Amino acid sequence: MSQTTVVHGEKISLLRVLGPAHVWALGVGIVLVGEYMGWNFAVGKGGAIAALIACWVAGLLYTCVAMIDSEVTSTVAAAGGQYAQAKHIVGPLMAFNVGLYLVFAYTMLEAANAITLGYLVQTVGQMAGFAEAHDKPFIVLSIMFLAWLNYRGVYATLTVNLVLTATAFIAVVVLFACVKPWSNELLNHRELLTGLPYGWLGVIASLHFGLWYYLGIEGTCQAAEEVRSPARSLPLGTMTGIITLLIAATMTWYLCTGLMPWEYLGQATTPLFDAARLTDSMSLMVLLFVGTMFSTLASANGCINDASRAWFSMGRDRYLPTWFGAVHPKNRTPFRSIVFLVPVALVFAYFAPLDQVITFSILSGLLGYTYMSIQVIMFRKKWPLDTIKRGYIHPFHPLPAIVLLAICSTTYFAVFLGYGTQLVAMMIFFVVASLWFHFHRYKYVRRGDQFTMQWPRPVGY
Q: Is the dihedral of CA 389, 313, 331, 73 positive or negative?
A: negative
Residue 139 domain-assigned? yes
Q: Given this model, what pLDDT does residue 364 score?
A: 93
In a domain, 313, yes or no: yes
Looking at residue 12, what is its pLDDT? 62
Evaluate the omega torsion of the peptide bond into residue 398 and state whether it is cis, within 30 degrees of 0.
yes
Which of 177, 149, 444 minimizes the C-alpha distance to 315?
444
Please answer whether residues 69 and 221 qualify as being in contact, where contact means their C-beta atoms are separated by less than 8 angstroms. Answer: yes
Q: What's the Cα-to-Cα distance from 58 to each of 51, 52, 207, 211, 287, rounded to whole Å?
A: 10, 10, 7, 5, 28
Domain-embedded: residue 17: no
pLDDT digits (tens, 9 = 90+) for 399-414: 999 999 999 999 999 9
Q: pTM of the full predicted structure?
A: 0.85
Domain total of the chain? 1
- Select from 117, 124, 113, 105 the least CA-distant residue to 217: 105
pLDDT in tens, 278-296: 998 999 999 999 998 999 9
Per-residue pLDDT at 3: 41
Bridge partners for 336 per DSSP: none
191-212 pLDDT per residue, tens:
888 889 999 999 999 998 988 8
Which pLDDT score, from 0 to 100, does residue 2 have? 39
In the three-class reduction of DSSP (H, G, I as helix; E, B as strand; rest coil), residue 18 is classed as strand
pLDDT at 10: 40
416: nearest Cα among 170, 208, 197: 208
Q: What is the pLDDT of residue 272?
A: 92
The predicted pLDDT at position 158 comes to 80
Expressed as residue numbers, the domain containing 393 is 22-445
- Is residue 200 domain-resident? yes
In a domain, 142, yes or no: yes
- Which of the residues in the chain have pLDDT under 50? 1-10
pLDDT of 439 reads 95
Phi and psi at residue 455, in whole multiples of 5°? -105, 155
Is residue 115 within 8 A of residue 263, CB to CB? The reply is no
11 by DSSP, 3-state: which? strand
Q: Quick one: pLDDT at residue 7?
A: 38
Instruction: Look at residues 297, 295, 307 and name the one whose alpha carbon lies nearest to residue 343.
Output: 307
Phi, psi of 93 (to 5 degrees): -65, -45
Query: Per-residue b/e over 59-76, b at no fewer than 16 CB within 10 Å?
Result: bebbbbbbbbbbbbbbbb
In this prediction, residue 458 carries a pLDDT of 86
Q: Is residue 451 part of a domain?
A: no
* Domain annotation covers residue 461: no
Distance of CA 405 to the CA centre of its chain: 19
- At residue 265, the pLDDT reads 93
Burial class (CB in 10 A: 0-12, 13-18, 19+), 337: buried
For residue 455, being part of any structural domain is answered with no
Residue 197 belongs to domain with CATH number: 1.20.1740.10
